Chain A
Amino acid sequence: MALENILILAAASLLWAATFRNHGRTWFMLIASVVVIFWLQPALPIRGADFFTPIATLVLIVLTWFITADDATRKQRKNIIILTIVTGVVLLLNLTRFLPTDFQLLTASRPPQLETTLIIFLITGLTLLAFSRLTRFSASFLTFGLVLTIGLFLLIKIPALSLWLASFLRTLSGQSLTNVSINDFRWLGFSYVAFRLIHTIRDKQSGRFPSVDVGEFITYVIFFPAFTAGPIDRLERFIKDLRAPFSGLNLETFYSAGQRLLLGLFKKFVIADALALIALNDSNATQVTSTFWMWVIVYAYAFQIYFDFSGYTDIALAIAQLLGIKLPENFASPYLKPNLTQFWNNWHMTLTQWFRAYFFNPVTRWLRSWQKPMSIPMMILLTQVATMLLIGFWHGVTWNFTLWGLWHGLGLFIHNRWNDATKAKAAAWAITPARQAALNISGILLTFHFVAIGWIFFALSSPVTSWQVILRLFGVN
């Protein structure tokens, strides 16, 4: 989100909370979230794509709600009202195509013909109707939803598939394939949307899914402060806040949210953006010739990415707080942690927790359930590497993200084994505060540098360049 987007959203939230208090708060959050996904979606070279992509997000969310909601909730009349209003909002946005260009402020480009949008809504409506009339909901629907979401995720994250998708959409819209590129189709916020949808489907499968109406569900998935950069909240926690009576903004909340917002803006737009000018990237990776300066730009990247992510988290938490929603914390001084395990417990915490809950723990349980379980170290190696590889793929299915995942997976495994082997000795040695501090500081430095070197794979696009940078860091030309 750009600075002006953030300021407008914060001001709107503040105004609503201060003026209307609990009246229509959930409606405000729902409608604002729907508008924001159109507003923030960047312009795409494929005709109409920047309007249809948010629609696809909404359709996917509604379908997911439909297959996860229980019968009683699904049949509630208010869902039809909510869907009608959401549809109305989208159609109103579509109608802005008739406004002069200067007034088309809510979409990246001029919205497409209304007919196409109506056809999409009609098909969605008929699908929902068919679903509800023709069959009882079974586990296979949930599996299908899961596969569909993961499939779409892969379509966007795997460069070869993204290129195919871009070519397909260009052909569909009658555009030339001459300049087709994997960047043609950028589905804003889909990574986070997919995670929330997978979370709800999995919770439904395990019987933990709470009963929510379609409005609550849409608001949860695309809640505008957290739509683009997280954190990834859990539905049952989110709806508690959403349903709790909101007595309006008090001074304490205002100060707390205000401070957090200013801190976030400072982190993102002053520190991170300034560091971005000197941070490691594909261009300067090969231009820097000295070891010293290579370390400087790697450090700059390490801090830039931290202040960028954590700044956005602060902003999201602050805006949500104005509306009475307490989103979960996402960063807790990760670079001050003395080992890699603690680093990951404090870096992008909601993402890590998501993977722990929906991948690491189930896989570990499954491996343990084998008749002849593998050895503990082997199990740790397998699960940690697999988890970190998946986190890497979440950012993009490329060799560099694979290496980044592998780097951290192996790092976690090595730390686990090292910790196991030396725990007793370390405790025996660190018997004075000075020794404890020495151990702690050396751990922090080691962990930070391990993470910083890992960022090289994250920041760059080619393994060869990444390797060259690493060699340069250690004085090898």
Chain B
Amino acid sequence: MKQEIKPLNVLIKGLLLFALFNLVIAAWQTGVGQLSLYNILYPGRERLPFGENPKQSYNLSLFDLDAMFASHVIAGTPKTDDEFRVVIVGDSSVWGTLLKPEETLAGQLNADTLNACGKTVRTYNLGYPTISLTKDVMLLSYAVQYNPDLVIWMTTLDAFPLEKQTSTPLVANNEEKVRELATSYGLRVEADDSNFEVKSFWQKTFVGNRRAWADFFRLQIYGVMWSATGIDQVYPSEYEKAQTDFETDESYHDLTAPLTEDDLAINALETGFRVVGETPMLLVNEPMLISSGANSDIRYNFFYPRWAYDDYREIMTSLSERNDWTYVDFWDIVPANEFTNSAIHLTPAGENMLAENLAPYILENCK
């Protein structure tokens, strides 16, 4: 017998189910991002997802760290007895702007097939294209779960200014994770930091958080194109070269000479070392373009006036000695012609120079 349809009942039941679904999503915050087609249906990505032009790069930027890591090759690579696992964190220079995965620092180190303490060195690129020590610490806290034998933290002065720590979108959209790091490891975060995108309960529901859900699904779908093409960023045939001529400008953020430790997020650096714990970590001051153009006696490059950068290097050296950190300063090892569109982005040849210089330190730090 055909049952009569009662529209009001259908409407009420539908609305209730919809509301319930949203409430469950809002309350159940754990690990949907950990579900991934990467490393199962298609290979994991060689670097963390990042891309502003998904249709061309088959990649996109999202803020769900679980989803980001689940799409990475490290999540699908069980560590074997003969693997010496190295993870590299840092900014866009580590991630590899304008470089193919095999041309990045991690790619070049893997191509070298290094052998450390009788184990094959396998390097994982966990760099991410924004400059902030806090962002790096956040990614480090994820990286340690993959049991690295060595962590390489590539950094530069521009990751240190206090106001840059939480302003990067990846940090700003992961307030809970950063607060967790503050509680567990003493990362210094202001209680009322206005950079954070604090989500209300409503914004955590499926409807309120629909953008994140859409990003999650799109990341899974773009896995097909990543698998099919191996492309994960747009490689323009022409790009604007890094700036080499400058105005007579000695300013650096709102800071004044001399630069002191108080001006910088040294606490984030210290937190990074606490996060990795017993795992050896190599702190590397990354290479930068040393310009010889107009006013290069005042500025090294677009990012840095000479006074600030010179002070920074001194601070880093004394800080490392004081804390017994393994610190390597590669600031000037790459000639100016091996930089691409930025004072810190290297050409494949530049990355190769960096890898050659870094390799001995990896071998020295195996246990």
Q: Residues on A close to B: CB < 8 A?
A: 251, 254-255, 274, 277-278, 283-284, 287-290, 293-294, 296-297, 300
Are B7 and A296 in contact (CB-based, < 8 A)?
no
A441 vs B309: C-alpha distance in the bound complex, in angstroms?
Answer: 71
Q: Which residues of B contact A290 (CB under 8 A)?
A: 228
B229 & A278 in contact (Cβ 8 Å cutoff): no
Is B231 within 8 A of A287, CB to CB?
yes
Which residues of the other chain, B, contact A274 by a CB distance below 8 angstroms? 217, 221
Which residues of the partner chain B approach A255 to less than 8 Å between Cβ atoms? 5
Minimum C-beta distance from B219 to chain A (A): 10
Interface size counted on chain B using CB atoms at 8 A? 16
Check if B185 is an interface residue, CB within 8 A of chain A.
no
Cα–Cα, bound, A283→B56 (Å): 8
With A251-B5, A283-B56: A293-B222 Cβ-Cβ less than 8 Å = no
Q: Does B227 contact A (CB under 8 A)?
A: yes
Find out whether the CB atom of B5 lies under 8 angstroms from the CB atom of A296. no
> Which residues of chain B have C-beta atoms less than 8 A from A288's C-beta?
228-229
Let me know if A278 and B224 touch, CB within 8 A. Answer: yes
Tell me if A287 and B228 are in contact (CB < 8 A): yes
B225 at the interface (CB under 8 A from A): yes
1/0 per position for B41-79, CB-CB distance to A under 8 A? 000000000000011100000000000000000000000
* Given contact pairs A274-B221, A278-B222, a sample of 4 additional A-B residue pairs in the complex whose CB atoms are under 8 Å apart: A254-B7, A284-B229, A287-B231, A289-B229
Asked, given contacts A251-B7, A278-B221, whether A293 binds B227 with beta carbons under 8 Å apart, the answer is yes
**Complex partner residue of B228 from A251, A254, A284, CB under 8 angstroms:** A284
A-B interface pairs (CB < 8 A), number: 43
Give, as a whole number of angstroms, the nearest-CB distance from A156 to chain B: 26
Residues 266-291 of B contacting A (Cβ, < 8 Å): none
Q: What separation, in Å, do the CA atoms of A36 and B272 have in the docked complex?
A: 58
Contact partners of B222 in chain A: CB under 8 A: 277-278
Whether the pair A277, B5 counts as a contact (CB closer than 8 A) is no
Q: Which residues of B contact A300 (CB under 8 A)?
A: 224
Is residue B218 within 8 Å, beta carbon to beta carbon, of the partner chain? yes
Q: Collect the chain A residues with CB atoms within 8 Å of residue B5's CB.
A: 251, 255
Name 12 interchain pairs, CB-CB below 8 A, sorted by A.
A251-B7, A254-B7, A255-B5, A277-B218, A277-B221, A284-B229, A289-B229, A290-B228, A293-B227, A293-B229, A294-B228, A296-B228
Q: Which 6 A-B pairs have the closest CB atoms?
A: A293-B228, A287-B229, A278-B224, A288-B228, A277-B221, A278-B225
Query: When the two chains form their complex, are residues B225 and A284 in contact, meaning their CB atoms are under 8 A apart?
Result: yes
A372 to chain B, nearest CB (A): 55
Q: Which of B5, B56, B228 is packed against the most chain A CB atoms within 10 Å? A: B228
Residue of B nearest to A277 (CB): B221
Q: How far is the CB of A283 from chain B (nearest CB, A)?
A: 7
Cα distance, A290 to B5, chains bound together (Å): 52
CB of B169, distance to nearest CB on chain A (Å): 22
Residues of B within 8 A of A287 (CB): 228-229, 231
Contacting residues, chain A, for B228 (C-beta < 8 A): 278, 284, 287-290, 293-294, 296-297
Contact A296 B229 (CB under 8 A): no
What residue in chain B is nearest A300 (Cβ atoms)?
B224
B54, B56, B217, B224 interface centre (most CB from chain A within 10 Å): B224
Question: Which of chain B's residues 101-119 have a Cβ closer than 8 Å to chain A?
Answer: none
A288 to B58, CA, bound (A): 12
- CA of A300 to CA of B225, assembled, Å: 11
Contacts of B7 in A (CB 8 A): 251, 254
Which residues of B172-215 are within 8 A (CB) of A?
none
With A251-B7, A277-B218 as known contacts, state yes or no: A293 contacts B231, CB within 8 Å.
no
Alpha-carbon distance between A211 and B204 when the two chains are bound, in angstroms: 59
How far, in Å, is A354 (CB) from chain B's closest CB?
Answer: 34
Chain B residues with CB under 8 Å of A293's CB are: 224, 227-229
- Chain B: minimal CB distance from A337 (Å): 27
| A283 CA to B217 CA, complexed, in Å | 22
Q: In the complex the two chains form, is A277's CB within 8 Å of B229's CB?
A: no
Q: For residue A302, give the distance in angstroms from its CB to the closest CB of chain B.
A: 15
Chain A CB count within 10 A is highest, among B7, B218, B227, B229, for B229
Q: Mark B115-132, 1 if CB is under 8 A from A, else 0.
A: 000000000000000000
Interface centre among A274, A277, A289, A296 (most CB of B within 10 A): A277
- Shortest C-beta distance, B222 to chain A (Å), equals 6
Closest chain B residue to A289 by CB distance? B229
CA–CA, A296 and B8, complex, Å? 44
Chain B: minimal CB distance from A409 (Å): 31
Give the distance to chain A from B194, nearest Cβ to Cβ, in Å: 29
